[in-house]
Amino acid sequence: MKTEYTEEQKYLRAKKRVKSIKGFYVHLMVYLLVNAFLLIAKVFSDGGTEVLWEWQSYNTVLFWGIGLAFHAFGVFGMDILFGKNWEDQKIKEFMDKDKREFWE
């Protein structure tokens, strides 16, 4: 059974989706900024770039990154890599490209 939504319901669902996508991108920006700051602070406090080759330097990056990946899958689903219609879109893209090249 297919659910029919009113225009207001469609709007509210779309608004909720946009809010969750925005939340993910805010999380991503905080992740990048905080981890960059932590790595730079570690280099300057420990006196050199050799600290970047130590496992302990990347604990936060790794484990927070795993959490960020789960957040991404929660927001975008498994379609984050290829999308729902990725194959169809790529086929259409290549067919359009061939069509343009053939007629030019």
Residue whose C-alpha is closest to residue 31's, from 69, 78, 74: 69
What is the full per-residue pLDDT of the chain (104 aa) written as tens digits?
566 778 888 888 889 989 999 999 999 999 999 999 988 888 888 777 777 787 777 888 999 999 999 999 888 887 666 666 777 777 878 878 777 776 65
List the domain boundaries for the chain.
7-103
Quick check: pTM over 0.85? Answer: no
CA distances to 25, 40, 59, 60, 103 from 37, rounded to whole Å, are 18, 5, 14, 12, 53
pLDDT at 81: 64
